[in-house]
Amino acid sequence: MNFFKAIAAAGLVVASASVFSVAVKAADVTGAGATFPFPVYSKWADAYKKETGHGVNYQSIGSGAGIKQILAKTVTFGATDAPLKADKLEKDGLVQWPMVMGAIVPVVNIEGVKPGELVLSGELLGDIYLGKITKWDDPAIVKLNPGVKLPSASIAVVHRSDGAGTSFNFTNYLSKVNAEWKSRVGEGTAVEWPAGVGAKGNEGVSGNVGQTRNAIGYVEYAYAKQNKLTYTALINKAGKVVQPGGASFQAAAANADWASAPGYHVILTDQPGEASWPITAATFILMYSEPSDKAASAEAIKFFKWAFEKGGVMAEELDYIPMPESVVKQIEKTWTSEIKS
């Protein structure tokens, strides 16, 4: 992925399975976790380093691993798309806030099918991942796609193999729209997948689907676009067929009530509204209330403050959704009152 290599060279050290060996200055900060926000964190870090000279060393290793690293105190901040609940935050002395919003899209590799052409419902998506629907020309899929030429081929299901916030939001959505999925599998960063093969990170799922004919997977939208993957349309809670993109993500995000949520714990899947994309999600930062390295913590907050102030357009260029100004002000008060750096 040339985009990711270029970004890494420009200022953000990243890793999907290992850490790139690059010298980190004393003023640099370290973070680890979610692959979901990697494209926008990359872009921010590149611009931030050019402007300030300070780098951000971020390991793109999945939300579950990021949580483990912040709990082990091996990084300045953790990043997760599966927000921790207030009691867990309090128990571990952590502070949590949303950094940016984005969306998860189903992606397929079917010859002749163009991006946004195939329509799926949440119920169908759940049945595919349950292993109940195994062929692309299944009558239930054909019924929703009368004008699409679908092969009589087995569906190659791809899911995450690592503990992933992307999986948390995907399975949270499936649990809301498919009763059997909820009872048999449920939601989580890691679940017992009834069907398919696993791949590590949004990067791994993107690569697997891109290389496997008749595959289906789920990735953050920026990965679908950057890897030129074929995303599907979805039928939302209002029964409308919607395409992924800034407008449908914004429509879903507009329902978020951040102010009244302890620890900013808000899940954005299956939101109401005719234009809402049904698998919209926020991604969160985790830091210690009383960090052991106060200088690194202070430097991390400077980066996040800069990203809120100057990173909105960059986020929108990658079809992420910046946090509303009112929420940013609330988050800045949280930093002042809860993080001793």
Q: What is the pLDDT of residues 250-295, one digit of tens each?
A: 999 998 899 889 999 999 999 999 999 999 999 999 999 999 999 9
Q: How confident is the model at residue 163 (pLDDT cuts 50, 70, 90)?
A: confident
Position 193 scores a pLDDT of: 98
Q: What is the mean pLDDT of the chain?
A: 91
pLDDT band at residue 7 under the 50/70/90 scheme: very low
pLDDT at 191 over 50: yes
Given a cut of 60, is residue 15 above it in pLDDT? no
DSSP 146: T
**Ordered domains of the chain (ranges, CATH):** 29-101+280-338 (3.40.190.10), 104-255 (3.40.190.10)
Q: Quote the pLDDT of residue 8.
A: 39
The 10s digit of each residue's pLDDT in 67-120 is 999 999 999 999 999 999 999 999 999 999 999 999 999 999 999 999 999 999
Residue appearing with tokens 């990043």: 79
Asked if 215 and 196 count as a contact pair (C-beta separation under 8 A), the reply is no
Q: Which two tokens stand for residue 228?
A: 């030129």
Tokens of 305: 């403050």
With b meaning 16 or more CB within 10 Å and e meaning fewer, what string describes 188-222? bbbbebeebeebbbbbbbbbbbbeeebbbbbbbbb
Rounded to whole angstroms, how far apart are CA atoms 322 and 35? Answer: 17
Long-range contacts of 82-88 (CB under 8 A, 24+ apart): 82/165, 82/168, 82/169, 82/189, 83/263, 83/264, 83/265, 83/266, 83/267, 83/282, 83/284, 84/263, 84/265, 84/284, 84/286, 85/262, 85/263, 85/265, 86/262, 86/263, 86/265
> What distance in Å separates the CA atoms of residue 105 and residue 217, rounded to the nearest whole number?
8
Helices (H), the chain: 2-10, 38-52, 63-71, 86-92, 122-130, 139-144, 165-177, 179-184, 201-211, 221-226, 246-253, 294-310, 312-317, 325-338
The reported pLDDT for the residue numbered 259 is 87
Query: What pTM value is reported for the model?
Result: 0.87
The model's confidence at residue 173, banded by pLDDT at 50, 70 and 90, is: very high
The fraction of the chain above a pLDDT of 90, given in percent, is: 87
* pLDDT score of 275: 96
Q: Which residues share a beta bridge with 56?
A: 12, 29
When pLDDT is averaged across residues 291-302 and rounded to a whole number, the result is 94
